[in-house]
Amino acid sequence: MHNINKQTKAYDFKTQDIKVLKKLMPYLLKMRARVILATLFLIVAKLANVAVPVALKGIVDALDKPDILVILPLGLLFAYGLLRLSSALFNELRDAVFARVRYHAMHLIALGVFKHLHTLDLSFHLDRRIGGITRDIDRGTQSVSTLLSIFVFNIIPSFFEIAMVVGLLWLNYDVFFAGISLATVSFYIALTLAITTWRMKYRYEMNDMQSEANTNAVDSLINYETVKYFNREAFEVSRYDKTMGRWEEVATKSFTSMTALNFVQSSVIAVGVTIILIMAAQGVVDEKLGLGDMIMIQALLLQLFLPLGSLGIVYRQIKHNFIDMNNLFDLLDRNAKVKSVKNAPLLELGRGKVEFKQVSFAYENKDKTLKKVSFTILPGKKVAIIGQSGSGKSTLAKLLFRFYDVNSGEILIDGQDIRAVDKDSVQSIIGVVPQDTVMFNESIYYNIAYGKEGAAKEEVEAAAKAAFISDFIADLPKGYDTMVGERGLKLSGGEKQRMAIARVLLKNPPILIFDEATSALDSYSEKKVQKALKELGNKHTILVIAHRLSTIIDADKIIVLDNGMILEQGTHDELLAIKGKYAQLWQIQSNKSK
pLDDT per 10-residue tile (average), the chain, 594 residues: 40 61 74 83 83 76 60 76 86 85 81 78 64 71 78 76 81 81 84 78 80 85 84 88 89 84 82 82 77 76 71 72 78 76 88 92 83 91 87 88 90 93 90 82 90 90 87 89 78 81 88 79 69 68 86 89 90 91 86 59
Task: State the SS3 of 518-556.
Answer: CCCCCHHHHHHHHHHHHHHCCCCEEEEECCCHHHCCCCC
Strands 430-433 and 541-545: unpaired
Task: State the SS3 of 562-581.
Answer: ECCEEEEEECHHHHHHHCCH
Residues 588, 593, 594, CA angle at the centre, nearest 5°? 100
CB atoms within 10 A of CB 420: 13
**CA contacts within 13 A on the Cβ side of 234:** 1
Residue 386's identity, in one-letter code, is I
Q: Give the whole-angstrom CA distance, residue 388 versus residue 369.
A: 12
Residues 334, 337, 338, CA angle at the centre, nearest 5°? 125
Q: Give the whole-angstrom CA distance, residue 592 versus residue 27.
A: 64
Q: Identify the DSSP state of 227.
A: H
Task: State the SS3 of 469-509.
Answer: CHHHHHCCCCHHHCECCHHHCCCCHHHHHHHHHHHHHHHCC
357 SS3 class: strand
Contact 345, 422 (CB under 8 A): yes
Q: Identify the DSSP state of 443.
A: B
Contact 174, 279 (CB under 8 A): yes
H-helix or E-strand spanning residue 382: strand 382-387
Residue 568's identity, in one-letter code, is E
Plot region of 11 (φ>0 → left; ψ -120 to 50 → alpha; else → beta): beta
All residues at 6 or more sequence positions from 40 whose CB lies less than 8 Å from its CB, including other chains: none
Residues 376, 380, 381, CA angle at the centre, nearest 5°? 50
Q: Give the whole-angstrom CA distance, residue 483 versus residue 442.
A: 5
Q: Give the whole-angstrom CA distance, residue 447 versus residue 457.
A: 13
pLDDT of residue 448: 92
Contact 323, 203 (CB under 8 A): yes
Structural domains for the chain: 13-333 (1.20.1560.10), 341-429+510-524+538-594 (3.40.50.300), 440-508 (3.40.50.300)
Handedness of CA 206, 207, 213, 214 (dihedral sign): positive
Angle between helices 175-222 and 233-285 (to 10 degrees): 170
Distances (CA, A) of 7 to 44, 143, 208, 478: 44, 20, 9, 51
Contact 181, 304 (CB under 8 A): yes
Q: Give the whole-angstrom CA distance, residue 453 versus residue 459.
A: 11
Strands 541-545 and 382-387: parallel
Contact 41, 90 (CB under 8 A): yes
431 SS3 class: strand
pLDDT of residue 319: 73
Task: Give long-range contacts, CB 8 A cutoff, 24+ apart: 237-240.
Answer: 240/213, 240/216
